[in-house]
Amino acid sequence: MRKKILSIAIFAFTFLNVNSQTPIYLDESKPIEERVTDALSRMTLQEKVKLCHAQSKFSSYGVSRLGIPELWMSDGPHGVRAEINWNNWNYAGWTNDSITVFPALTCLAATWNPDMAAKYGKAIGEEALYREKDVILGPGVNIYRTPLNGRNFEYMGEDPYLASVMCVPYIKELQKNGVAACVKHYALNNQEQWRGHINVELSDRALHEIYLPAFKAAVEEGGAWSIMGSYNKIRGQHACHNDLMLNKILKNDWKFDGAVITDWGGCHDTKEAALNGLDIEMGSYTNGLTSESAFTFDDYFLARPYLEMIQKGEVSESTVNEKAARILRLIFRTAMKRNKPFGSVATKEHYDVAREIAGEGIVLLKNEKRGNKLPSILPIDGEKYKKILVVGDNAVRMLNQGGGSSELKAKDMISPLQGMRELYGEKIEFAQGYMVGRPMYGREDKIDKNVEDSLRAEAVAMAKEADLIVMFGGLNKNHLQDCEGGDRTSYSLPFGQNELIESLTAVNRNFVLVLLSGNAVEMPWVAKVPAIVQGWYAGSMEDML
């Protein structure tokens, strides 16, 4: 509907133009730089400044007087997030915003297959287009430097070259839909604890050889139309208005012609934001995810305070001209691009893409032979076993839930237990084995010890009677696990899983462990477990596991 209103507005503006000629900025046959220059020449200072900050939680201003539309953004990078209210963090409760949950980017990276990245970008772009989003906040290409970082599951691993190769086709195919990639989080977002003020110091060599290659490839090879700054400081300046990172490296050295967007609440100073390369300020005066303040959008650093600084001559009007030009370029490439394909959401084709990527991303970590008489367990021979016991909360947990801003509202989710039952039918029995609480931002799970012991005892008793055990364990997207806003406090598996694995392998050596996580975990029991699979977070098609 928003796009239809925009088309009517543009037609009306063109028809009523006193010169009865289409303005250059509305003419898509003209070079984009001519259109940008023409639009800028028609805008007031107030309109230019207004482009530079949010008008709602996930949109920024256009220029309605000129028929230039606003920008609508959505969290990614694993799917298009459910609709959020205009000016608070509650879900809007729509009934038509369910989507395909694609595998986590750690899973995509584990395919080592650029063709999978291209399919991923194309499919998520089609879903974003269907949902009328102009900017998808992804992909994430921060480099995984510690397994305790809460947001590692959103990124493409620890290898700068791998992330560089994999992000390019994702971006290219996404943007063919007229939806901008917003590559994040630029840069050095290696922890969630103290993320809003920690100061990162590092050598030039580490910066350019480890942390920047994927972002550089995203810009120079992928042609990314927008970049999201990270929360942390880099050498004393916040990354969202950092002279070295934005002016000197991104815009000068790499010739980036798109717009720099803050992470939500990532702007801290009007003058630095004016001078140091920030273009669009989102989410200020919040904590970036949950809480709200009394400030209005006109109170943002790049709103009224910025306008007043220009009017007083404290910063040059040329700063806002440059920002507005970049934002107009982004609008013309996305919201104002009329010749775009049709979008689609939660289709068989998208489910097939999710399934294929999940399948290619699975990593076999261990599959030992157990002597001459007992070959390796995997692949499972369904004819061989009469009773297969599936164990674990992750066998039934919907792992699209939780995780912070990457939480997704799935149209369909197929759990590992469902998949096992489809394959092996009545041979499957289930024991929960361990329990976790409901995913909730900012809360650490505490499970009663008696409940934990009871669940473990039940699983062990059933394991004694089973021919094969398949345990789905690992992490989930609760606070202090794979979740925005908090880092893991332990390298160990949570919720008594280590004790459960030890107990199960003590009574039955026919044991397969499937780890669902975006992070590595400690494995003190590795010698006792004959088969281990890293399954990541597989998205809507968890049954691939």
Of 75, 97, 134, 263, the active-site residue reads: 263
Q: CA 59 → CA 35, 70, 84, 145, distances in Å?
A: 22, 7, 11, 32
Q: Are 475 and 519 in contact (CB under 8 A)?
A: yes
Q: What is the bridge-based pairing of β-strands 237-238 and 233-234?
A: antiparallel
* Tokens 């976790």 sit on residue: 436
Cα-Cα-Cα-Cα dihedral sign, residues 139, 145, 147, 150: negative
Neighbours of 255 (CB within 10 A): 9
Active site residue 269: no
Q: What are the strands, taking DSSP E only, across 220-283?
A: 226-229, 233-234, 237-238, 259-261
What is the identity of the amino acid at 4? Answer: K
Element containing residue 364 per DSSP (H, E): strand 363-367
* Tokens 């990245």 sit on residue: 117
Q: CA 364 → CA 327, 492, 534, distances in Å?
A: 45, 20, 6
DSSP assignments along 372-436, one per residue: TTB---PSP-TTT-S-EEEE-GGGT--TTS-SSTT---BS--B-HHHHHHHHHGGGEEEE--S--
In 32-179, alpha helices (H): 32-42, 45-50, 105-110, 114-130, 160-175
Catalytically annotated residues: 263
